[in-house]
Structure 1
């Protein structure tokens, strides 16, 4: 079976680890919406099993899982056009994750930079799940024979590992069963940075709420944060190259371009030489126009958790329709008696 025989299919997910930010929206959810109804089947997941690689309060995990689902729906992920569910409802993720743990090599896991970043000097005390979760991530993707995964640069290594696992499985069992998944990395704001420090990624765990735009922020909060975002004294440059050593300026231009669906070059063409007194209010207005309706709809959905759960349960049924035959075939290839 050649790669061209696989159904073009996108899989991606977001971990419910406490609060969606503008980074989640521009780096992931907005792209998920844009890919619907096109050349791909689209499968989007709340990867709640990844969240528990570090301890989660059970009540908080339930809220965070529904918040991510609400974010998907409010931003325009259509559960009729896409499959939308939370990972733990489809046990095939964990099952294939174990099979892949037996295919992947320890040396491959040791090269995963995200584990080193998250574990730091405390590597001996973190959970085994935090170390091994890239095998589960590969299973998330390959359980659906996904051919494409929209990711940020910081996740590209995990897609490369997924390709390695697929290749080793196919080689070891002399089959051409799992596809070579391709990362899709595009867009001007793939890595949205901190509004107070343009050298750091925007994070829900940052010290100050002014560092980030939360997807549940109302219009006033969104406008205030952009107007107070850190900048340097110089006006916007005449060319994009002039942003190279100006991280805060570059970040705000990236965000404007992503929200407006235009290039950075087009932003600079419109605002070349402009001061921040002109640019930041324009950015704030654009952000409110795009984000405030999503925030309002998220809040409405969060007030009806039963509706969110119903949508995810139906999505899980559809996910199993795709994944069950793939998982069964993987078991068969490996020689399990079932």
Structure 2
């Protein structure tokens, strides 16, 4: 038997299931594999032997999964230890892979998921395993190395641009001076926040101000920037990255109690923090909007190109594995 395992991990996107469909279709059309096992909840599902047989899905079901946001198989945030630190978990995983006669493992995810699949491939190589490992990239943050752009980013950016256009209309109806702060995802990468600039057109300059995590943030400069814009309009809209850092490299919204298993600060609240600052310093009406997970699950704003590329990546991953690549 030549079976494969496919799993999804990390934060979901609008397009991650298109990659899953690509892996399934690629495996079924290759004639090189017998069963397509879906591991529920990422690598945790592998360790717990929670599998479903995906080759049983009908074409209609696959079409539905293709356009469904979030992770069909569920997700996890499980940090694999370094091999030198603890090899027992790797031994267990490979025992399970052999038990289910798995010859290829596909992991769909972002930076941390690529770290997991890379470690499995490294361990497999060290013991002479012939199992092939392939990482299928996804992340709305658009920050995976060796990619021009990442699956999931296009759909999230499209949602942000559409939202900005709608904010432009909603915030323009009153004469009262108003500042609206839009908090956008992106811990260390400002691609999503920068995409808000695509909403600017001949009728509207919104958002007039954009702040990225790559540029040190100064509250004094921020207040001065708003004051300058307010000299020409009563309606100021600002796009803010959740990952804004001050001149010392500290996250504006980070707290010591909010870190995930990978040591990443879990950020939220920069909009509210700066809302209070604007009210205090300028005395004008100010509101903050955190669009949060809508950025990664707005299927009604899915990019057709994003879905097509995501499916193709899944198919290509299978193609490379069939050719003997890891």
TM range (shorter): 0.3 to 0.5
> Normalized against structure 2, the TM-score is what?
0.32
TM-score of the superposed pair, with normalisation by structure 1:
0.31
Q: Going by fraction, where is helix more abundant, 1 or 2?
A: 1
Higher strand share: 2
